[in-house]
Amino acid sequence: MILSDRDLKERLDNDEIVIDPLLDPDKQIQPASIDVRLGKEFVVYKLPHVAAIDTRDPDSTRGYTETVTIEEGESFTLHPGEFVLGTTLEWVKIPNDLVARVDGRSSIGRLAVVVHATAGLVDPGFEGRITLELSNLGRVAVKLYPGMRISQLVFHQMTSEAERPYGPARGSKYQGQQGPTPSRISNDIDE
C-alpha cells in the first residue's frame, strides 16, 4: 500500500517520517510521494587507472573518485554517458513500518537523467542523506542545480514493523551518511 499525501502529511506532522529541511511542503508533497532536492556534493568517477575494481579490496578504488562541491547558484554538468553519485539536500528518517522507493521525477527523466542505477530502496529505520546514482542516458549534457527537486520518495506500508530495521544493530554501513557515499561493498562478509 502506497501512502497518500494525507497520510504523508500526518506522518510528517507526527515526526514519524522526517524530511529535513522540508523547504516547500506545498510543492514537495505530491499526491503519492515527497519530492527531495539535490544536494551540493558529488562523487565523480575519474577515468579508470586500475584494471578492475576488486569488491573485496577497499583500496582498489583509491584515487578513482573525487568529491566536488558546487557553490550556491552554480551548476553541475552531467555529461552523456557519465555516472556520478549525488546526494539529497534533505536528511531523511524512515520509520520501522515503512519502506521508501527513490524514483526520478518525470521532468528529470524526460531529460534522459536517471537518479538510481539499482539502489532505489530505502530500508525501514534508515537515517541520513540519500545517495543518488545519477546517469545521463541522453546525447546532450544536462546542468543540475543544487536545491532543485531531483527525485521523489514513495512510501510503502509494510505488513508489520521490521523486526531488525536498518541501523547500528545490523551493522548497516550507510546509516547516518552525510553526503554521497561510494560503495562499501568490501565491508560485506559473505560466506
Beta strands 76-78 and 83-93, pairing class: unpaired
* Residue where the block lists cell 546514482: 133
Looking at the annotation, which residues are catalytic?
133
Instruction: Say whether 109 counts as a known binding-site residue.
Output: yes
Instruction: Say whether 164 counts as a known binding-site residue.
Output: no
Instruction: Say whether 133 counts as a known binding-site residue.
Output: yes
Instruction: Say whether 33 counts as a known binding-site residue.
Output: no
Instruction: Say whether 149 counts as a known binding-site residue.
Output: no
Instruction: Say whether 9 counts as a known binding-site residue.
Output: no
Question: CA 98 → CA 7, 11, 80, 191, distances in Å?
Answer: 12, 11, 35, 30
Instruction: Say whether 172 counts as a known binding-site residue.
Output: no
- Please work out, in degrees rounded to the nearest 5, the angle formed at the alpha carbon of residue 136 by the alpha carbons of 132 and 141: 120
Instruction: Say whether 150 counts as a known binding-site residue.
Output: no
- Judged by DSSP in three states, 5 sits in helix
Instruction: Say whether 105 counts as a known binding-site residue.
Output: yes
Instruction: Say whether 188 counts as a known binding-site residue.
Output: no
DSSP E strands in 49-169: the ranges are: 65-69, 76-78, 83-93, 98-104, 113-114, 121-122, 127-136, 142-144, 149-157
Peptide bond into 58 cis (omega under 30): no
Question: How many whole angstroms separate alpha carbon 162 and alpha carbon 8?
Answer: 19
Instruction: Say whether 107 counts as a known binding-site residue.
Output: yes
Q: Which residues are annotated as a binding site for dCTP?
A: 105-110, 123, 131-133, 152, 166, 173, 177
